[in-house]
Amino acid sequence: MNAKFDIGPYIIRFIVTALISVAVAGLINEGAYLFQKEKYDRPPKTIQLVVPNGTADQLAAGESIKSIPENMVFVAGDVLEVKNEDTVAHQLGPVWVPAGATGRLELNDPNKYAYSCSFTTQRYLGLDVRQPTTLATRLTALAVGGPPLLVFFFIYSLLVFPVKPAQKEAVGRA
Per-residue pLDDT tens digits for 135-151: 888 899 899 999 999 99
- The C-alpha atoms of residue 141 and residue 19 are separated, in whole angstroms, by 16
pTM of the predicted protein model: 0.65
> What confidence score (pLDDT) does residue 48 get?
95
Instruction: Tell me the pLDDT tens digit for each residue of 105-119.
Output: 999 999 999 999 999
- CA distances to 22, 68, 125 from 61, rounded to whole Å, are 62, 17, 19
Instruction: Tell me the pLDDT tens digit for each residue of 31-53.
Output: 988 888 887 788 889 999 999 99
What domains can you pick out in the chain, each with its CATH number? 8-37+134-160 (no CATH), 46-130 (2.60.40.420)
> What confidence score (pLDDT) does residue 169 get?
52
Q: Which of 65, 74, 134 is nearest to 104 (CA)?
A: 74
Q: Where are the alpha helices (DSSP H) in 93-134?
A: none
